[in-house]
Amino acid sequence: MSFSDVFKSSFLENVTSVSILDMVIAMVLAFALGLFIFLIYKKTYAGVMYSSSFGVTLVSLTMITTLVILAVTSNVVLSLGMVGALSIVRFRAAIKEPLDISFLFWSIAAGIVLAAGMIPLAVFGSVIIGVILLLFANRKEHTNPYIVVLQCGDHASESNAIDYIRENTLGCSTKSKTARQGLVELSLEIRLKDDNTDFINEVSELAGVKSAVLVSYNGEYMG
């Protein structure tokens, strides 16, 4: 093999399989779509602690997927090897919000469709998904749920407290109950008639009620 044959190898010929213009257009559009997904995620996030690193991951994931698919579509042999290479990749980060999974798949799907040359589908599809998420992810119920934690001395005080709460709220259901010697602890899910929470002060003053705590939560109870 002569020195010139080295530069005629198939490896160097693959350099021109994807043009520079195609690379630039694909990566710029991938960044724009990834940024759009990140903004939708930031707008619709309803968790306790917002993670900016996850938002950046959505942008980078869109661009990385586009990069990989560009390489795969330009070489059939590479596509077969890529399947084996990607099979060792594992995403081990804990997903705290179920909606985060849809954003991950959205970023991957946008990168795949974009690198496949279906730019209108990638753009308009992402816009439609973003609008749907804005409409439904931020949809709030008319009455926010609350949790009331009661500590009562006996069964009679427990019944009086529950009856009083039901009279002053739209709904009341028992989530958990713990009974000890001389103490009954209840967790009740309630929905307020209005923003007035003064009734909880009156509950704490009922005979036999040792304490009454009102806590706001997102309606997802795990017991």
The residue among 125 and 91 whose pLDDT is bigger is 125
Domain boundaries, the chain: 3-137, 145-216
Output the pLDDT for position 141.
52
pLDDT above 70 (res 88):
no
Assigned CATH class of 145-216: alpha beta
Average pLDDT, the chain: 78
Query: Band of the pLDDT at 117, cuts 50, 70, 90?
Result: confident
Q: Tell me how crowded residue 57 is: count the other CB atoms within 10 A of its CB.
A: 20
- Whether the per-residue pLDDT at 220 is higher than 70: the answer is no
- CA atoms in the 13 A half-sphere facing the CB of 158: 17
Can you tell me which residue has the tokens 């709460």? Answer: 165
Contact between 75 and 17 under an 8 Å Cβ cutoff? The reply is yes
Overall pTM surpassing 0.95 (yes/no): no
Phi/psi at 200 (5° precision): -65, -30
Q: Specify the higher pLDDT residue, 98 or 176.
A: 176
3-52 tens-digit pLDDT: 455 445 555 555 556 678 888 888 999 999 999 999 999 888 876 667 77
